[in-house]
Structure 1
Amino acid sequence: MTDDAIRHTRPDAPHWFAVRELDSPPGKVLYLSGELDLLYTPDLRVHIRAALDSDEVIRLVLDLSELEFIDSTGIGVLVWADREATERGRHLAVSGCGPRVRRVLNVYGVAGRLRLYESAEQALETT
């Protein structure tokens, strides 16, 4: 995580979640790190809404390469983001899924629904 990341913490939570944004017109990458669960999905929704509300963002990439954990509520946000992007005529891609995260995506049956790429750069080029 770099210094420009927005780190989200909760007083009673033993873990954290952070989002680092990178503008890459006509796209934007949200680099997620830490643990995405019920506590932090509202924070991620705020970042996604802000990106999709921008007229400058045609492609939104959610990079999960530094995400250590994701639960069903996090998966729900990915599915919601994909639907929101499609309804707005935008493109959403997910990149950098490590083995643990990819396994969760497969278990919940959403790996085939989302556009998955090895890297954010690849997602920006092909989305």
Structure 2
Amino acid sequence: MTPAHPATVLSLSAVELDGVSGDPGYLEALPFVRHVQSAPNGGLVVWLEPANACAPSLADEAPARPADVELHGPGAPCEALIAHPRAQHVEMFFDGLGDPVFAPRGWWHARVWLRPAA
């Protein structure tokens, strides 16, 4: 009898998002996202594998149109949530003071402009 080889298990990180607006397929199209589930507070929990790919090249200025996707949540921002292969421009803000009850570790907000689909 040959012993079974142990399966390689990826180490996933969970990131909480309190709000997402814009392109509904954005999160599922991120290369590092493995699973998206509803959170008890009405937000989302996004399970990410380690981000080891290079970041997309981004334009210096935001396009003259509204952002395609806006994301926000408590805690520190996660770079993997904005590393979309179609990202044209990204603006990310972090409020380190946050809210003593709802975001004691700070609050982040990101706006993402996507390149048109080819």
Scaled by the length of structure 2, the TM-score of the pair is 0.26
Between 1 and 2, higher relative CO (CA 8 Å, sep ≥ 6) is seen in: 2
Which of 1 and 2 has greater Rg?
A: 2
Q: Which has the higher helix share?
A: 1
Scaled by the length of structure 1, the TM-score of the pair is 0.25
